[in-house]
Amino acid sequence: MLGDYARNIPHSIFALIDIHYPGFVLHKGLLESTSDMRVKKPKESYYAVQNTISIFDDRFKRIKNPDYHFDIPAKSPDSIKTAADNNGIILYAFQEENSTLPLFTVWIGDQRPAHDFPVVPVQITFKNLKFHDPVCVDLLSGLVFDIPKEFWFADNTICTFKRLPIYDSPVLVAERRLIVMKDSNESL
């Protein structure tokens, strides 16, 4: 979904319930269903889509070819190092058109998503992408986290985020004022 958004590719979201066919269930819906095709509950993906579309609208334009690099901790699993070496860590940068405030999304995207979420702290350094008051948003849960000052650095040309937790679901780093939160509990 974010990949399509970043490349201006129209897309739709299969927002129906899971469909029970004789012998198998089509699990692509955002709503879990019972065997008699009643809605049981929203799935985790329902909330992830809700969180994502609450942020990404027509205010943003993609920053094509942002200048960045990753530093992967030596103790990281080999699969993460391989992902970084083979462009398996996905990153898209955007800016709000009216203000040029930046945001970026990053996730490990070289394997099929799983229910096991190994989180890897990475360092990402950007050239010419300026942050002043960044927050980190987990788009899966909708939780918004402050990024302590000791975990990011910015000067006139370089901005570095240290120990940024990434996994197989998109994480967003954005200027705080770009994120509208529903209450003081720091969630979307």
**Complete DSSP assignment for 158-173:** EEEEEEEEE-SS-EEE
For residue 105, tell me if it sits in a domain. Answer: yes
On whether both 96 and 161 belong to a single domain, the answer is yes
pLDDT band at residue 61 under the 50/70/90 scheme = very high
Q: Phi-psi category of 104—alpha, beta or left, where left has phi over 0 and alpha has psi -120 to 50? A: beta
On whether both 72 and 34 belong to a single domain, the answer is no
Q: Which residues pair with 21 in a beta bridge?
A: 24
For residue 187, tell me if it sits in a domain. Answer: no
pLDDT in tens, 112-143: 776 777 788 899 999 999 999 999 999 999 99
pLDDT value at residue 51: 92
Which stretches of the chain are DSSP H helices?
Answer: 2-6, 44-53, 78-85
pLDDT band at residue 16 under the 50/70/90 scheme = confident
- Judged against a pLDDT cut of 90, whether residue 100 lies above it is answered with no
For residue 183, tell me if it sits in a domain. Answer: no
Our separate counts of H helices and E strands in the chain read: 3, 14
On whether both 77 and 124 belong to a single domain, the answer is yes
For residue 170, tell me if it sits in a domain. Answer: yes
Q: Tell me what the mean pLDDT of segment 2-8 comes to.
A: 80
Q: Could you tell me which of 153, 176, 154 has the C-alpha nearest to residue 163?
A: 153
pLDDT band at residue 12 under the 50/70/90 scheme = confident
pLDDT band at residue 57 under the 50/70/90 scheme = confident
On whether both 154 and 115 belong to a single domain, the answer is yes
For residue 71, tell me if it sits in a domain. Answer: yes
Weakest-pLDDT range from 15-24, 84-93, 124-133, 135-144? 84-93
Instruction: Give the domain extent around 92.
Output: 60-178
On whether both 14 and 89 belong to a single domain, the answer is no
Asked if 105 and 91 touch (Cβ cutoff 8 Å), the reply is yes
Give, in degrees to the nearest 5, the angle at Cα 150 between 144 and 156.
95
On whether both 104 and 126 belong to a single domain, the answer is yes
- Of 13, 32, 53, the residue that ends a domain is 53
For residue 23, tell me if it sits in a domain. Answer: yes
pLDDT value at residue 127: 94
On whether both 108 and 41 belong to a single domain, the answer is no
On whether both 70 and 145 belong to a single domain, the answer is yes
On whether both 47 and 140 belong to a single domain, the answer is no
- The token pair at 82 is 């391989």
Q: What is the value of pTM for the model shown?
A: 0.83
Q: Which residues pair with 32 in a beta bridge?
A: 41
On whether both 18 and 65 belong to a single domain, the answer is no
pLDDT value at residue 186: 59
User: How many domains are there within the chain?
Assistant: 2
Q: What is the CATH number of the domain that holds 166?
A: 2.60.40
For residue 184, tell me if it sits in a domain. Answer: no
Contact residues for 110 (Cβ-Cβ < 8 A; gap 6+)? 82, 83, 86, 87, 88, 89
Q: What is the mean pLDDT of the chain?
A: 86
For residue 186, tell me if it sits in a domain. Answer: no
On whether both 82 and 132 belong to a single domain, the answer is yes
On whether both 44 and 69 belong to a single domain, the answer is no
pLDDT band at residue 184 under the 50/70/90 scheme = low
pLDDT value at residue 77: 64
Q: What are phi and psi of 21, to 5 degrees?
A: -105, 160
